[in-house]
Amino acid sequence: MALFRNRIDAGKRLAVDLAGYAERADVVVLGLPRGGIPVAEQVAVGLGATLDVFVVRKVGVPGHEELAMGAVASGGVRVVNREVLDDLAVDDETFRRAVERERAEVERRERRYRGDREPAELADKIVILIDDGLATGASMHAAVEAVRVHRPARIVIAVPVASRAACDELRSLADAVICATTPEPFFAVGQWYEDFSPTTDDNVRQALARHGRQEERLEPSAPNI
């Protein structure tokens, strides 16, 4: 049985659980593309917070891409899983090529999503990382590691639905983890949405543009001199 009509419904309901962060100038909401962006947009609107996209790509071991030997993310951040590299004796050149391949995709997506807008400043901010759900939590794990490089004041993970195991594992990484619902048994994120249509690059770009225009309208006008 579905828990949410769609990602917009999920985001509005998740915003209620995050109400303690509302109307704070030091809060930044980051959506993981693509599916996390419609959820994050509703959270940002509900909290009156800045919205941005945080692109993270896992760097998989060649031939075993599901196993992460690192990650690359927005802002040129690179995370290295030294344990995997050492255990599998992955040489530096193989790792470098894999990183460059994923970094090129991060940069492509950022240009597509953000255009010429500067990324949100994360240093000393409360960063709320949003996705539409967590099955294994691997992408969110990489995102937390990458965001931490920016030295935020606090990292909060928030998702509408997740497996209990993924939530429990992430609690040791972030300052707070909010999994609105953890139904069991859990097989896939999409099973808990009536409409789980794919989110496109254009959907992400439009959401960021909408929220940017809203923030401009809310900025106080300069006083007449």
pLDDT for residue 73? 85
Same domain, 96 and 51: no
CA distance 114 to 157: 22
**How many structural domains compose the chain?**
2
pLDDT for residue 221? 43
Same domain, 202 and 127: yes
- Return the DSSP state at 18: T
pLDDT for residue 7? 98
CA distance 179 to 14: 9
Cα end-to-end span (Å), the chain: 60
Of residues 192, 189, 159, the one with CA closest to residue 176? 159
Same domain, 91 and 189: no
How large is the angle between the packed helices 92-114 and 201-218, nearest 10 degrees?
A: 60
pLDDT for residue 170? 94
Q: What is the span of the domain harbouring residue 82?
A: 58-112
pLDDT for residue 79? 81
Domain at 119, CATH number: 3.40.50.2020
> Which residues lie below 8 Å from residue 160, measured CB to CB, with a gap of 6+?
3, 4, 10, 11, 13, 14, 39, 132, 133, 180, 181, 192
Does residue 220 sit within a domain?
Answer: no
Of residues 10, 58, 57, 39, the one with CA closest to residue 128? 39
Same domain, 42 and 136: yes
For residue 122, give the amino acid letter.
L
The first and second tokens of residue 197, run together, are 């249509």
pTM: 0.85
Same domain, 65 and 100: yes
pLDDT for residue 47? 97
Which of 96, 112, 128 is a domain's end point? Answer: 112
CA distance 108 to 192: 31
- For every one of its 225 residues, what pLDDT tens digit does the chain have, with 9 covering 90 and above? 679 999 999 999 999 999 999 999 999 999 999 999 999 999 999 999 999 999 988 888 888 777 788 888 887 788 888 888 888 889 989 999 999 999 999 989 988 998 888 889 999 999 999 999 998 887 898 899 889 999 999 999 999 999 999 999 999 999 999 999 999 999 899 999 999 999 999 999 999 999 876 665 555 443 443
Same domain, 96 and 206: no
Does residue 221 sit within a domain?
Answer: no
CA distance 152 to 26: 10
Same domain, 18 and 119: yes
